[in-house]
């Protein structure tokens, strides 16, 4: 009889172990009953698949802002990826000699904590700058060709809240990839490859485009210019999570 009870106890323990709790909001955990994940966007430079997405956040360029070369951005975030579509007006670049190419930057407050990070950039972040990571890569190379996006990654490396050009290079990875053309680019951010630990479910960020390497000519989010804000600087934009 004791042997029978022992076998029953082992079976019960096994059943409990096999039924692990499923946290649907944890990007690193898949539920056993979930359907196979299919990424809603394919990073191929063809933007048709954006038309079928719901719950997309849209940032539009304000007409009177100082840096207007990014006209529109769309962001869609789920538990595995964040997808970004950015539309440009690069007509002023056509006759420009650009020995350093044209770069696109992501400035990310990845822990969604305004008490960490720094660097003001093109945004009005209030009393405390909070960018943790800058991702910077070419979209137009020195020859004038549009190229796949493969940025370097740099952790803010000065006192929290400051505005120093102080960055610590992080190991290269495929955290962000992108493809596009002279009209627009699309990007994929892979949550689990965030180089500074865990990327928050919802976080904030800004994007900018830089001609001749380092002169920002477009930035989003932005807002209409005023006497007290002649550049039309806005706060970093919220990247909303969609299950």
Handedness of CA 92, 215, 169, 79 (dihedral sign): negative
pLDDT digits (tens, 9 = 90+) for 90-105: 876 665 555 678 899 9
Tokens representing residue 93 in the block: 């670049």
Q: What is the pTM for the complete model shown? A: 0.85
| Res 95: pLDDT | 58
Q: Are the CB atoms for 54 and 40 separated by under 8 Å?
A: no
19 pLDDT tier (thresholds 50, 70, 90): very low
E strands, 47-101, in order: 57-60, 70-77, 81-88
Per-residue pLDDT, averaged over 56-67, amounts to 97
| 117 backbone dihedrals φ, ψ, rounded to 5° | 75, -170
Give the three-class secondary structure for 214.
coil
| Res 14: pLDDT | 40
Q: Does residue 74 carry a pLDDT above 60?
A: yes
Give the three-class secondary structure for 16.
helix
Q: Largest alpha-carbon pair distance within the chain?
A: 90
CA angle, residues 140, 175, 121, in degrees to nearest 5? 65
| Res 97: pLDDT | 57
């Amino acid at each position: 009889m004791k042997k029978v009870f022992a076998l029953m106890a082992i079976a019960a323990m096994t059943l409990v172990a096999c039924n692990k709790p499923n946290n649907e909001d944890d990007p690193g955990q898949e539920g056993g009953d979930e359907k196979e994940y299919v990424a809603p966007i394919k990073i191929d430079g063809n933007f048709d698949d954006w038309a079928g997405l719901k719950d997309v956040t849209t940032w539009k360029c304000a007409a009177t802002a100082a840096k207007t070369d990014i006209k529109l951005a769309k962001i869609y975030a789920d538990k595995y990826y964040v997808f970004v579509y950015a539309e440009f007006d690069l007509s002023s670049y056509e006759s420009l000699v650009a020995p350093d190419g044209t770069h696109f930057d992501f400035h990310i407050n990845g822990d969604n904590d305004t008490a960490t990070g720094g660097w003001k950039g093109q945004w009005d972040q209030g009393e405390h700058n909070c960018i943790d990571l800058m991702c910077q890569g070419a979209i137009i190379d020195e020859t004038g060709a549009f190229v796949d996006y493969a940025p370097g990654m740099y952790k803010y490396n000065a006192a929290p809240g400051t505005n120093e050009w102080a960055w610590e290079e992080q190991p290269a990875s495929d955290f962000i990839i992108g493809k596009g053309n002279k009209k627009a680019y699309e990007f994929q951010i892979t949550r689990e490859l965030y180089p500074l630990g865990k990327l928050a479910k919802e976080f904030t960020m800004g994007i900018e485009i830089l001609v001749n390497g380092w002169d920002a000519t477009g930035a989003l989010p932005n807002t209409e210019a005023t006497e007290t804000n002649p550049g039309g600087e806005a706060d970093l934009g919220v990247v909303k999570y969609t299950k």
